Structure 1
Amino acid sequence: MQCTQNLDFYMSILLFIVGLLFLLRQLTEPAGYGKHVQRKAKQMSILIPAKYGWFIQELPSFLVPLMVILYNQDWDTMGCKMVFFMFCGHYFQRTFIYSSLTRGRPTPLHIVVLAVVFCSYNGFLQGHCMVYVAVYPQDWYMDIRFTSGAIIFCFGMGINIHSDYILRKLRKPSEVTYRIPQGGMFNYVSGANFLGEIVEWFGYAVATWSLPAFAFALFTLCFIGPRAYHHHRFYLQEFKDYPKERRALIPFIF
């Protein structure tokens, strides 16, 4: 058990360090995918249609923890249930539903490859912790950490899915024109979809009360938090009538 605990500890620390490095990298320049793919990069990169890119890169986050669960003979535990219904539930939606509906721009191949590596790593880390390390009392579902975390998770997931729906409806499948998103949390922040996902994973971290989950939540904040800022700056430059009261990521604050 000590060996597996050490494994999760060091993998979590590495995940957090990588998140900080991404944060420092994006202080001046956003990650090069979506609307932030530079024209020169488009010409030099192999581009994959958004539907296939999202499916390929998100699939490991669903399959890897599922395989870890199924490999364990005693899989009917609270930890297994949480990683399956919460973590795998999110990535089932992202892999099989979001990817089939997205109207995003093509993604560079190297971004997809890096995402596959990360999703495999994180999927194993979260699944391994919940299956082999985390131990919960039988009444954990009554614990304030679980109940509050589950509520926060569902709230964030709702924001994320609704925001993706709003973005999808901004243009027809063949269009590439950008428009100002309106409705839902977009009335308050430019990165409503990012806000929803950040809230979601912090809810998961509270519900599971595990180091790997908190490391992933912090990684998510470091990775897509700056992206919300760059989206906000893009909208301000692109649209003269962009709502001035709208913030980047945190309503009324930032």
Structure 2
Amino acid sequence: MLNVNGQLAWMIMELPAPVLFLASYHTSRSGDPEWSHPTVFMLLALFTGHYVNRAVVSPLRTPSRSPSHVIVPICAIIFNTMNASLMGTFFAFISNSPPDLTRPCALPRSAQFWMGIIMFILGLVSNVWHDEILLRLRKNPDSPSALSHSTSTLLNKGSRRTDIAAKPKYSIPYGGLYRFVSYPNYLSEWFEWLGFAIASSALTQCGGLYTPPWMFLAAELAVMLPRAIRGHAWYRERFGERYPSKRKAIFPALL
């Protein structure tokens, strides 16, 4: 009851982010077009690219998602609406500022900007890669690279194929940072947005850690860290001794 299709819910709750981000930026802009601010345009492109992958590409490639309670997409839509609007307005403010404040010309600020850009790209690649590992497990939970575990008792050899297909399976993912943590995709996403916040801070002297990029990173940590800890505990309960004993929840060797 009150559950909605998982794929549809995911797309609906993520699509407002890129749309409202660009809309709020455009409506808050004044003066020259964003092409006169290449550093701002790069950050616009990175934010939009992340959410296009998240809202469109990823769900279209995913075989299925579990049904979601209607409150989940509603809360996500509210959050994405607020975050995207703040982000777009923030970058419009930077674009409306004098050009020397929005182009990192001095060496220290330039180094900070490009370090943030590189961090974002590395985090995005890692995020997509580890999501791809999970995607392969969903498509083929019996692959040699995964350890599958049925949610019910093991089936006899004579069981029908339809019965086997009806039994949902969970698998232990391996590869990449899964060697160290249960949620490398979360860790990679945080690294993305840390780089985004660092690059954004190089473009303005206003706000410090109280700007939308830093506030977004803090919100992601607050929401996703408890989820990773609970998920890690679920993995250990589900697989017991078969789950890698040295694998942590989210931070290698720490937590």
| Matched residue, 2:188 | 196
Q: TM-score, normalised by structure 2?
A: 0.76
Deviation per residue, 1:136-169 (Å, 9 max, x gap): 3434596121111111111111111111111111
8 Å contact 1:185–1:192 — kept in the other structure?
Answer: yes
1:151 corresponds, among 109, 118, 122, to 118
Alpha-carbon separation, structure 1, partners of 2:111 and 2:67: 43
- AA partner of residue 25 (structure 2): I
1:97 has 2:57 as partner: yes
Deviation per residue, 1:159-217 (Å, 9 max, x gap): 11111111111133877311101111111100111111111111100010161101111
| Matched residue, 1:243 | 244
The higher radius of gyration belongs to 2
1:170 has 2:137 as partner: yes
- AA partner of residue 248 (structure 1): A
Q: TM-score, normalised by structure 1?
A: 0.76
| Matched residue, 2:89 | 128
8 Å contact 1:149–1:204 — kept in the other structure?
Answer: yes
1:87 has 2:87 as partner: no
Alpha-carbon separation, structure 2, partners of 1:147 and 1:190: 30
8 Å contact 2:130–2:185 — kept in the other structure?
Answer: yes
Alpha-carbon separation, structure 2, partners of 1:224 and 1:152: 20
Alpha-carbon separation, structure 2, partners of 1:248 and 1:152: 22
8 Å contact 2:94–2:102 — kept in the other structure?
Answer: no
1:183 has 2:175 as partner: yes
| Matched residue, 1:40 | none
Alpha-carbon separation, structure 2, partners of 1:49 and 1:221: 27
Percent identical among aligned pairs is 29
Alpha-carbon separation, structure 1, partners of 2:136 and 2:105: 40
- AA partner of residue 76 (structure 2): A
| Matched residue, 1:106 | 67
| Matched residue, 1:138 | 103
- Which SS does the other structure have where 2:243 is aligned? coil
Shift of 1:124: 0.3
8 Å contact 1:50–1:99 — kept in the other structure?
Answer: no
Runs of 4+ displaced beyond 4 Å: none
8 Å contact 2:10–2:59 — kept in the other structure?
Answer: yes
Q: Residues 84, 137 of structure 1: CA spacing in aligned structure 2 closer, same or farther, 3 A cutoff?
A: closer
Shift of 1:112: 0.4
Structure having greater relative contact order (Cα 8 Å, sep ≥ 6): 1
Alpha-carbon separation, structure 2, partners of 1:64 and 1:150: 22
Shift of 1:68: 2.1
Where in structure 1 are there 5+ consecutive unaligned residues?
1-44
| Matched residue, 1:75 | 33
Number of residue pairs matched? 210
8 Å contact 1:65–1:127 — kept in the other structure?
Answer: yes
